[in-house]
């Protein structure tokens, strides 16, 4: 019985398909970084050719690319992955998966895991303001701060809004701004997003900050 079991193991091993260098990646972005490019390397360690039938990411924020789909015994390849953090605004941690179906085991997809820690560029506290319909349009405040490790931010309002006035003053030079926001009136229910462009030498891309305002 033991000899038979060892023979089965040896046969299964000889027919083994793709062996992955890593199937679980844990990465971090830098402040203002929008795109991460990585990949999953593999080798066909079996005795038969193996085809990659399909690659299915769990989210549109993950794009994949593969140069070829069939790999002979001993041949290596790599699934290239591009992760776009800009498609998940406000998130600081993203867990994604990529299911890979191969010809040698079509009923058992290989699940590749991707975890991305997204560095905060700026934070708004609170993230939005609400005024009660029909009550006095009193001023309220929001503080926008630079994320950890971010230096010398400059906040610029990119568009005016007819329903709300915004007064913006630096609170800590290069690190935070205090916004005083006042509705023009509260006679009617309304909703608005005030957009700001945030500039910093720390950023690798343009960063925007959205403030949500509501009269309800």
Quick: pLDDT tens for 77-100. Answer: 999 999 987 776 556 778 999 999
Domain presence at residue 5: no
What pLDDT shows up at residue 145? 93
Work out the burial of residue 16: count CB atoms within 10 Å of its CB; fewer than 13 is exposed, 13-18 middle, 19 or more buried.
middle
Q: What does DSSP assign to residue 58?
A: S
d(CA 85, CA 66) in angstroms, rounded, equals 21
> pTM of this prediction?
0.66
* Domains in the chain, number: 2
Helix (H, G, I), strand (E, B) or coil at 85: helix
Domain presence at residue 11: no
What residues contact residue 9 under an 8 Å CB cut-off, 6+ apart? none
Domain limits for position 83:
17-117
Query: Both 134 and 200 in a single domain?
Result: yes
Query: Both 33 and 101 in a single domain?
Result: yes
Domain presence at residue 12: no
Q: What does DSSP assign to residue 161?
A: B
Query: Both 54 and 108 in a single domain?
Result: yes
Domain C-terminal end among 89, 117, 145: 117
What residues contact residue 111 under an 8 Å CB cut-off, 6+ apart? 23, 97, 98, 99, 100
Domain presence at residue 109: yes
Domain presence at residue 2: no
Token match 């895991």: residue?
A: 113
Q: What is the mean pLDDT of residues 169-192?
A: 93
Quick: pLDDT tens for 107-124. Answer: 999 999 999 988 888 889
Helix (H, G, I), strand (E, B) or coil at 207: strand
Domain presence at residue 89: yes
Query: Both 54 and 131 in a single domain?
Result: no
Closest-CA residue to 197 (of 208, 211, 205): 208
Query: Both 95 and 142 in a single domain?
Result: no
Q: What does DSSP assign to residue 117?
A: E
Beta bridge partners of 155: 198
Closest-CA residue to 62 (of 102, 30, 19, 100): 100
Query: Both 211 and 127 in a single domain?
Result: yes
Query: Both 90 and 148 in a single domain?
Result: no
Domain C-terminal end among 117, 140, 164: 117
Query: Both 132 and 78 in a single domain?
Result: no
Helix (H, G, I), strand (E, B) or coil at 63: strand
| Phi, psi at 9, each rounded to 5° | -65, -40
- Which band of pLDDT confidence, cut at 50, 70 and 90, is reported for residue 8? very low
Domain C-terminal end among 92, 117, 142: 117
CATH number of the domain encompassing residue 103: 2.60.40.10
């Amino acid at each position: 019985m033991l000899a038979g079991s060892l023979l089965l193991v040896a046969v299964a091993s000889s027919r083994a398909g793709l062996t992955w260098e890593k199937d679980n990646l844990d990465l971090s972005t830098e402040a203002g970084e929008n795109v991460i490019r990585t990949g999953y390397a593999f080798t066909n360690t079996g005795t038969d050719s193996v085809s990659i039938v399909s690659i299915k990411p769990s989210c549109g924020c993950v794009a994949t690319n593969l140069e070829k789909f069939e790999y002979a015994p001993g041949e290596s390849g790599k699934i290239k992955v591009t992760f776009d953090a800009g498609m998940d605004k406000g998130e600081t941690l993203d867990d994604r998966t990529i299911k890979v179906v191969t010809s040698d085991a079509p009923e058992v997809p290989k699940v590749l895991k991707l975890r991305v820690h997204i560095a905060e560029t700026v934070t708004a506290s609170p993230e939005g303001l609400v005024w009660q319909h029909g009550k006095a349009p009193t001023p309220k405040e929001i503080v926008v701060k630079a994320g950890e490790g971010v230096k010398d931010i400059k906040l610029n309002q990119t568009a005016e809004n007819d329903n709300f006035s915004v007064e913006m003053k630096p609170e800590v030079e290069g690190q935070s701004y205090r916004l005083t926001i006042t509705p023009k009136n509260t006679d009617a229910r309304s909703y608005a997003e005030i957009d700001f462009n945030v500039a910093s030498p720390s950023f690798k891309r343009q960063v925007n900050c959205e403030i949500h305002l509501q009269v309800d």
